[in-house]
Structure 1
Amino acid sequence: MEKLIYVHVERLVDSLNRKKGMFSGCYDATNDWYVIKQRGEGRGDRVKMSRVFEDTGQLNHPDFALLDTDCVVIGSLLYVIGGCCFLCHSGNYNCKYLRSTEIRCLDTRNPEDRWRTCFTLPFKSCVDGSTVVDSQWLYLFPLEETWCYGFNIEDRKSTRKLPKPSNCTSPPSFSTSLSPGTLVAYKRGENTLYQLDCDNSAWTVYHKDFLPFSYEELGGSSFAVDDDGIVYIYLCSYIRLISFDIRNKKELHAVDLPRSFWFGLKDPVQLIVLSKNKFCLLWDRQGTNMNKCRIYYSRFSVSYDDLPDPTLDVEETRSFLVAGCGVLNVVTVDPPADVGSSRVDVSGGGEKPT
């Protein structure tokens, strides 16, 4: 059984149609969560999307939706980090709510138990990247700061504050746990992988000239890392899936995707590793109605048995109409062992794209 895909959506709700002005719709803006579930294996699988909750207080934040959030998953636990309200996101710096310092947690096996605030961060900067190391340390990369921050999820007390690699002012394009006690972070502008020794809080250069592509060629691309430390990149400019072995510093294989996988450079695309050699591209597009967007789901598998020319099979394509104005986060969660006893509602349906 493949992973469940959780999609975090912002929604402006009723006041969008009642009020005018720049902030129309923000006073009852909410967060919403959807789950995409795939049944079985191979072509023709049933793919469904449904809302996780049936009310609007998705993150227990009164009156305002939380935008600019980041997410990580440990087992069945989904963590949502920080965020800001719609007014702050729109440039109203006089908003009294400012940015959230809370990290909220949801047990996806029992979503009706609701969100809970599990700890508080010592800063209010927007988080633009996060990685969990050894299922214990959560490392965050604030957007507007020149340091990264580590928080012990287990004891909720121990903290680490250390400079970002090369004292950079921008967060990495992606980061991942490479091995016990080690984190690697990729800076696209430098085309360099940096390694963090978590015990000593020291950065070193792990791999210079990591990718054979320019900064411009990587524009609009999406990164994903599997459990074996293989980096997969949907190279938007070339409509191609490429892969690299981080541990062995080795370029692996590339496979061209069909022209139907061209989504344009403006629409956000998320590459997801579902299982071994099986992937999904998820992207969204705003409709004419500000409060409706369409999420497109394309699942495909790659056979590397026919090297040097791996073959690709598009297994399923769907689109889902969502009551929201945009996607905030996409995360995957392993399904519960007994899928039949899961209390996650997956009764909703999807449409074939037109």
Structure 2
Amino acid sequence: MKLIAPPEPAPAGQWSGSRHQQTPVGQCPAGPRENRLNLLAQYALTGVVTGCFLILATIGFSLTRQVEGFLNIAHAEMLGVSAFITWGLNAAAGWPFIPAAVVAIVATAFVGLFIGRVVYDPIRKLGPAVVLISSVGVALVIAGIMHAIIGTGIRTLDVPLATTYKFFGLRITNYQMIVVALAALTGISLALFLNRTKTGLAIRAMSTNPELAASRGIDVRQTSRATWLLSSGLAGLAGVMLALIATLSTDIAFHQILQILAVAILAGLGSLYSVIAAGLIVGIAMDVSVFWIPAGYRPLIAFAVVIIALLVRPEGLSMKRSS
């Protein structure tokens, strides 16, 4: 799926011509120095939005990685599942956006739980490499099912046109502000959940040392189920935001997993705050790079940032070195 970056490019997916104006990018614009600096600041602001979306998309992936001990490549497909459930209920069935979004998030959470219990739990003892390969297969199956049901073509939600606001000469839409606000709210809520609740503390213990957590009386099975529900629900939330700010096609999840992996690698095996910092760094770097280079190279910037950062700090942004 080709990304077209407007003055306020999408964090992911392809911008809808019905809701957003599109302008070509990829070359440093000619004109007064003030105009160029303003455009650079515009890309930086858009990078913050991109980073906030990547935070929503990666938190659940990172949580699964730490608790379950493997890279769940199918996590990105959960974004696609949620996005298309939202589209199906909203645009196809005529539901209002908010009820459609809530149902999509809940449904995605339980789809993730089902896959975790039926597919991953029985083969977990075979090692993380086997589970990783299995997750690739799960991703392909989900993508195939979505393609068979939905078909090809571009889909958009039935929502009002985005309203653009200007602050200090910079533009941001109401939908982009929703992404930023939800990322902040999700980060705060998740931090409180992991530090103040019994289930959250159990998840933290499992992510640190599963054997020790089990010896201390933590119900490993229940904690694993809670992790799948939480991580898949977070993917569902990111998928809803993806449906809101971008056009949808059945291959959309493939483009997300590469960026999710980049953020997760940069964050390392650290805390929630490492994921937040990594998401913002990758998002800003990707969108600011469009000021100088063609937009087609934008996804490569994410991995360029990761490579440079890991050369300087091999453990990533986390305070502890990954094992």
Q: Which TM-score tier does this pair reach, normalised by the shorter chain?
A: under 0.3
More strand by share: 1
More helix by share: 2
> TM-score, normalization: structure 1?
0.24
> TM-score, normalization: structure 2?
0.26
